[in-house]
Amino acid sequence: MGESLSFPKQEQRYLRLAVDAYLDDRNNDAVDLFYQARQIANTLIDLQESALEVFCEKACYQEAIDLFDEIIIKQDCINATNNWIQYFEDLADSYSGLEEAYNNEKSSKIPYEFLDLLTSADFSPLADDLPISPEEFAEKIMSTDLLNAKEQTLIHQNLQSLPFDEAKELIYILLQSKRIHLIFQTDLIHLLVENQEKGSYYLRDWQGEKRLVDFADLKLATDEPAFKAGVGYIDSVYQDDPFLMEIMHQEWLLFYCAVYPFFDTLNMEVKEVIKGLTEIMGHVKAVNDMKYQKIRTIRNLIYDGIGGQNDPLNH
């Protein structure tokens, strides 16, 4: 069966919450959230790249520079150092404020405990936590508690290890639950599609409304014509900026999977959605178009929907 769609970039959701807490002077909360991001990131490099991107998105350029400097100090070979320098230069091409801040040479701002969590070498990837015991697995499936990103990934991994006839019943239970993230719902749908499931299921759309879906008509989200059209559009628009192209590929994948299989209910063209994502990522605050507001709402559900007001699990 396929790999979880929310893996490996799910740590970005916790990182965004962590930086928001830091900006609100809630450093203790920020430390907890950085720790959770580290726990679910696939590798330390993934975590660090995501953290640099999130700091830049939030215009925390000096913090990004502090983190980059610490990363460079801890490299033990010239190739790794050069790779990080190239990554930072690509990041600066997309965020002009980063280069400006780097040239101004201001004093360090980022708290040391953040740097330690984001750069120390004693890193254990998520795979070390697998598998969970059958008893724990059953408890997580049947619990009424909200499932965090790490728990959802653990469940996905364990479902893959079961015979499909057994996994299908558990997947159906989860699909009826309000405890799962939109991206995880797509992970579960993919498990059914990959096993040629032909039944019909009631699924919740991004607004929490239940809709009957016939699985005989479904493809994987990444095989749907609308998704492929979006990838082609991004490739044509950002062909001169490979770094931004990669970011937009990720944004489009997450957005499409959050509304799959209900993309048509948005009543928007693929190009409209991608243009809206681009403007929202560029922090264009005067976006009053109702369609763009819809895009912003869905993006909030994707990235900020862990234990917060925008959590789709709470509705």
Instruction: Tell me the DSSP string of 90-136.
Output: HHHHH-HHHHHHHHHTPPP-S-HHHHHHHH-S----GGGGPPPPHHH
Q: Please give the structure tokens belonging to residue 27.
A: 């450093």
Residues 6+ away with beta carbon under 8 Å from 240: none
Taking 50 as the threshold, does the pLDDT of residue 7 lie above it? no
Instruction: Choose the weakest-confidence range: 92-106, 115-129, 251-265, 268-282.
Output: 115-129
- More confident call, 20 vs 283: 20
What is the average per-residue pLDDT within 229-248? 88
pLDDT of residue 135: 63
- More confident call, 290 vs 294: 294
> Which pTM value belongs to this model?
0.63
For the chain, give the mean pLDDT: 81
Straight-line distance from the first to the last Cα atom of the chain, in angstroms, rounded to the nearest whole number: 30
Distance CA 53, CA 58 (A): 9
Distance CA 146, CA 116 (A): 29
Return the DSSP state at 39.
Answer: H
Taking 50 as the threshold, does the pLDDT of residue 127 lie above it? no
Taking 70 as the threshold, does the pLDDT of residue 129 lie above it? no
Of the chain, the percentage scoring pLDDT greater than 70 comes to 82
pLDDT of residue 204: 86
Taking 90 as the threshold, does the pLDDT of residue 236 lie above it? yes
pLDDT of residue 292: 81
pLDDT of residue 245: 84
Taking 60 as the threshold, does the pLDDT of residue 28 lie above it? yes
Highest mean pLDDT, choosing among 108-112, 162-166, 196-200, 265-269: 265-269
For 67-107, write each residue's pLDDT tens digit: 999 999 988 889 889 999 999 999 999 898 998 888 887 77
C-beta separation of 12 from 18 below 8 A: no
Q: Closest by alpha carbon to 281, among 125, 18, 59? A: 59
C-beta separation of 204 from 186 below 8 A: no
Q: Please give the structure tokens belonging to residue 148.
A: 């965090």
pLDDT of residue 53: 92
What is the average per-residue pLDDT within 230-236? 94
C-beta separation of 250 from 272 below 8 A: no
For 42-67, write each residue's pLDDT tens digit: 788 989 999 999 999 889 999 999 99
What is the average per-residue pLDDT within 177-189? 83
